[in-house]
Amino acid sequence: MNSILINLYFFVMVKELNLYENDLLCNSFTYFASLMSMSFIPRTHLLQLSPKGLYCPIGDFYIDPSRAVDRAVITHAHGDHVKAGMKHYLTHQDSSPIIKLRIGTTANIQGLAYGETLNINGVNLSFHPAGHIIGSSQVRLEYKGEIWVVSGDYKIEDDGVCTAFESVKCHTFITESTFGLPIYKWAPQAEVFNEVNAWWQQNRERGLTSIILSYALGKAQRILHHLDPGIGEIFVHGSIKETNDAFRNAGIMVKDFPVVLSGKSKDHYRGAIIVAPPNWANANWLKKFQPYATASASGWMATRGSKQKMPADKGFTLSDHADWEGLNKAVKDSKAERVLVTHGYTKVFSKWLNELGLEAYELHHFGSNIFDSNTQIAEHSNLGGEAE
Ligand SMILES: [Zn+2]
Ligand SMILES: [Zn+2]
């Protein structure tokens, strides 16, 4: 009905303005008007930006809200996506133990399996693997045949630890773009871990302790999974042990490693590798392991400037986010008619998608006549994010 009305409006407008000279031209204008009308059909806005984050007005819930709300849907347990103070958390069941660990056991958390559907005020919600860290999910929303997918953080390559990314078809795809520049191109992880293990082996031969800096949730489990135990002993910092134990206690299989103890002599760790969060890499803590070599593992290591800023001797380019090619693949495979870009290089990536002929916007600009254009959601910062 709308399409007929808009078509008619175009036709009348064309006629009024005397824009056509003959029937042929008139027909082409009618055709043009009919094409235009297709994109004028109002679509249900399943999500909109609000000062508290992405909001679904029909379902009355928020996705990864930045401030306290009644109903929070959480894509994954990284600190920039899950905050304390929500009345109710809905998340993938494997994210629950970490949310409890970080926010407290009294948090009201409901966990779903991948693919399980929950109807919230008529909106069918389900979680689908995002391949970013254990429990990480894309959120699929369906209402009267209209489908929106929120990617959360994701990567395409199967890391061998969390459930691999699964493409979900939708009308509107909200994608992250943390590494949304063509310069970001990841090597296959087997290559990166060969380098990591070779670095450790060399350090061991030189009588050094290897210390690899990695965030406690996600990157740590990935590194630990791929370190070669044939080289030597593997230790973890207490915060990584705590995270691993929370997973293991919930029945999620992650390998167990001994915690590094401060009372031990330096010789105890010589030739071993220690996985520790970057915020522990201060001189005081490190000197307990002298002589040692340090390394950092992050997607930001792909650029020389970031490499120079890092607080480590060596940098490995290893990210839990999609690279440029991965982002493009996810968008293409989603078959979305409209793409909204958030986190990171939103401007470059949305413009690139426009050049490919896709309807794409930066999320914080999308529908600024409807939504509050001053609202922006927190962007991942260079080297500052938890998961990169
Ligand atoms: Zn994030
Ligand atoms: Zn994350």
pLDDT tens-digit readout, 119-141: 999 999 999 999 999 999 999 99
| Span from the CA of 176 to the centroid of ligand 1 (angstroms) | 9
pLDDT tens-digit readout, 31-64: 333 333 334 445 678 999 999 999 999 999 999 9
What percent of the chain lies above the pLDDT cut of 70? Answer: 82
| Span from the CA of 132 to the centroid of ligand 2 (angstroms) | 7
User: What confidence score (pLDDT) does residue 285 get?
Assistant: 87
Report the C-alpha gap between 131 and 23 in whole angstroms: 56
| Span from the CA of 208 to the centroid of ligand 1 (angstroms) | 34
User: What confidence score (pLDDT) does residue 105 get?
Assistant: 87
Nearby residues for ligand 1 (ion, Cβ within 5 Å): 80, 153
How far, in whole angstroms, is CA 166 from its chain's centroid? Answer: 13
When pLDDT is cut at 50, 70 and 90, the band that residue 375 belongs to is very low
| Span from the CA of 63 to the centroid of ligand 2 (angstroms) | 14
The SS3 call for residue 298 is coil
Sign, CA dihedral 386-224-320-152, equals negative
Nearby residues for ligand 2 (ion, Cβ within 5 Å): 78, 153, 387
